[in-house]
Structure 1
Amino acid sequence: MNKSELVAAIATDTDLSKADAARALDSVLENLTRTLARGESVQLSGFGNLSVASRAERVGRNPSTGEQLTIKASKAVKFTAGKALKDAVNAPA
């Protein structure tokens, strides 16, 4: 499912126009991004948790040459699925 398909599904489920559904989805994504950029976590009951994890600087290898290189420290978004989502994914088809 891509963004336009998700917007269409939201519009169908909520009786909103596609433009309103797109604005709503954009607002949700912008707010998630801003919250995570501040280093805060987002908890969506029944769906899961989004948080920011720090990755330490580490040594890696260039797969083409085998040369060692330093991979800089960075932050990554971590997603932990909630119980309801796990149950839905693991339910028999």
Structure 2
Amino acid sequence: MTKAGMVEQIKRKAGLSTKVAAEKVYDAVLESVREALIGGDSAIFTGLGSFKVVTRAERAGRNPGTGEIIRIPSCNVVRFTPGKKIRAILN
């Protein structure tokens, strides 16, 4: 689903009168999630799942062009864990 599709769904399901209002809701939710993740918190959506920041360990990789083994440094990544209901529906 694209942003435009999500905005249309928010407009329809929340009973908002304009797409501009729905887009403000969409932007506010995303900004809140971004701020939580940047602050080191997790963002939990009951019934959907949670987003949290985890540190990926340093590891060895391979340059596909030369075959040379390279070091990939550790970094922070966002990980999504689906909730119980979503896992049950998908499986």
In the superposition, the TM-score normalised over structure 2's length comes to 0.90
Query: Aligned partner of 2:62: which letter?
Result: R
Deviation at 1:39, TM superposition (A): 1.4
Q: Please tell me whether residue 62 in structure 1 is matched to residue 66 in structure 2.
A: no
Query: Which 5+ residue runs of structure 1 have no aligned equivalent?
Result: none
Number of equivalences: 90
Separation in 2, partners of 1:85, 1:6: 18
Aligned-partner residue type, residue 14 of structure 2? T
| TM-fit CA distance, 1:89 | 2.7
Amino acid at match of 1:75: N
Q: Kindly report the root-mean-square deviation, in angstroms, between the aligned alpha carbons of the 2 structures.
A: 1.1
Question: Which residue of 2 is the match for residue 33 of structure 1?
Answer: 34
* Partner in structure 2 of residue 14 of structure 1: 14
SS for the counterpart of 2:44 is strand
Query: Per-residue CA shift, 1:67-91, capped at 9, x if unaligned?
Result: 111111101111111111222334x
The Cα offsets for residues 9-68 of structure 1, whole Å up to 9 and x where unpaired, read as 110111211111101010100110111111111121111111111012221111121011
- Flag as ranges the 4+ runs of structure 1 deviating above 2 A: 87-90
Q: Kindly, what percent of the aligned residue pairs are identical?
A: 39
